[in-house]
Amino acid sequence: MKSHRKQLSSPLTAFYKFVFPAIWIGGFGAGTFTMILKNIPEWPSFLIATILGTTFLWWCCMRLKKVYIEDGELVISNYLKTIRVPLREMQEVKENRFISPRHAWIHLKNESPFGDKIMFMPPLRFLLLFAHPMVEELQKMIMYRVDRI
């Protein structure tokens, strides 16, 4: 029987998880370090901005997971480790419409090696006021207890 795979996370997940934070943190870190070395009076403000920005990037980018559905299971990867979780373990799916790109969380009934909340970035779209169709589809799967796509 042929395996069917449906990608839930954006193809840009790796960029937002690794590349964007590295560029931003590297740039702000180097700028702050240079300001400290040159004794520029504004360096404490830049240090605070670097710390806050790094914290925000960790929260919204570096925790992203690559997620897809295959053979009745969620396949979840942090790019170093991949786990499989039965679809019936999904308890709830929520999204944040206030940050761009948009993020979604799959809440699991039980703890997984990645925790009980899996954060992923659905494919980008431009209709920001409405629920993401990927999130709505997952919510329907939970509501109707669908174990296959």
pLDDT tens digits, 15-49: 999 999 999 999 999 999 999 999 999 999 999 99
Q: Do 54 and 25 contact (CB within 8 A), yes or no?
A: yes
Cα–Cα distance for residue pair 68/71, rounded to 1 Å: 10
Q: Over the chain, what is the mean pLDDT?
A: 91
Q: Of all residues in the chain, what percent are helix, strand and coil, respectively (each to 5)? A: 40, 30, 35
pTM of the model: 0.86
If one compares 4 and 29, the residue with the highest pLDDT of the two is 29
Closest CA to 109 of 134, 87, 82: 87
Tens of pLDDT along 70-102? 998 999 999 999 999 999 999 999 998 777 788
